[in-house]
Chain A
């Protein structure tokens, strides 16, 4: 079946512009996660959605970052007023449920370059 998909695969933007990154989770998966992978920082958690519960935003690095999940499916990560330090690969993952036992499946990522 279809895995997690993300778009765009690559995005180059100028400093100060806003960007939107999209994630389509595996159908039927109720939990959705965003992570960021940057050189020297490894993979960092950003935000977690589980069903209709309030999202866990504890990993968002600043208030320029926000995310939403519409209809319990597609999610959009928005970065406002991008900075060069936002350059990274943004990875989305989904799992059947957000509870303890469930495996997370990752998308191919969006490579963001801020010039």
Chain B
């Protein structure tokens, strides 16, 4: 059974800092890994999708890496802003079984002005 863990559960940092969010998964047989953000009371916004054959993806101030063999991904946020405050979720799509995403519990990020 695929399990996805995100550490820390919550993080609070001052504006302007660079930060890293962590995601680990137990089964390396994945098609891809997706990072989302969720604002309070809202749905999920896709940030980055990394295919299993890729090592990293970048979008603006965001950079996501994937180390499939060790079952880890990181989301790096550069020069954080108060607007980055949200819950960040990672999810993996397994090769075996249902065509579904398996989610971590998320990291609640607060950027303090």
Asked if A58 and B98 sit within 8 Å, CB to CB, the answer is yes
Asked if B32 and A101 sit within 8 Å, CB to CB, the answer is yes
Q: Which residue of A lies closest to B91 (CB)?
A: A43
Interface of A is mostly: strand
- Residue count of chain B within 8 Å CB distance of chain A: 26
Contact A100 to B95, CB < 8 A, known contacts A42-B103, A43-B89? yes
Contact A59 to B98, CB < 8 A, known contacts A100-B32, A106-B36? yes
**A105 CA / B42 CA spacing, docked (Å):** 13
On chain A, the residues within 8 Å of B46 by CB distance are 103-106
**A99 CA / B100 CA spacing, docked (Å):** 10
**A51 CA / B93 CA spacing, docked (Å):** 19
Among B43, B99, B106, point to the contact of A56 (Cβ < 8 A). Answer: B99
**A42 CA / B104 CA spacing, docked (Å):** 7
| A87 interface residue per 8 A CB criterion | no
Asked if B34 and A48 sit within 8 Å, CB to CB, the answer is no
Asked if B44 and A45 sit within 8 Å, CB to CB, the answer is no
Contact A101 to B98, CB < 8 A, known contacts A42-B104, A43-B103, A108-B43? no
**A59 CA / B31 CA spacing, docked (Å):** 20
| Nearest CB in chain B: distance from A42 CB, A | 5
**A28 CA / B97 CA spacing, docked (Å):** 25
| A50 interface residue per 8 A CB criterion | yes
Asked if B99 and A108 sit within 8 Å, CB to CB, the answer is no
| Nearest CB in chain A: distance from B11 CB, A | 18
Interface residues of A, Cβ cutoff 8 Å to B: 4, 6, 31, 33, 35, 42-43, 45, 48, 50, 56, 58-59, 91, 93, 98-101, 103-109, 111
Other A-B contacts than A43-B89, A108-B42, 15 sampled, CB-CB below 8 A, are A4-B43, A6-B43, A33-B99, A33-B101, A42-B103, A42-B105, A42-B106, A45-B100, A56-B99, A58-B98, A91-B43, A93-B44, A100-B93, A103-B49, A107-B43
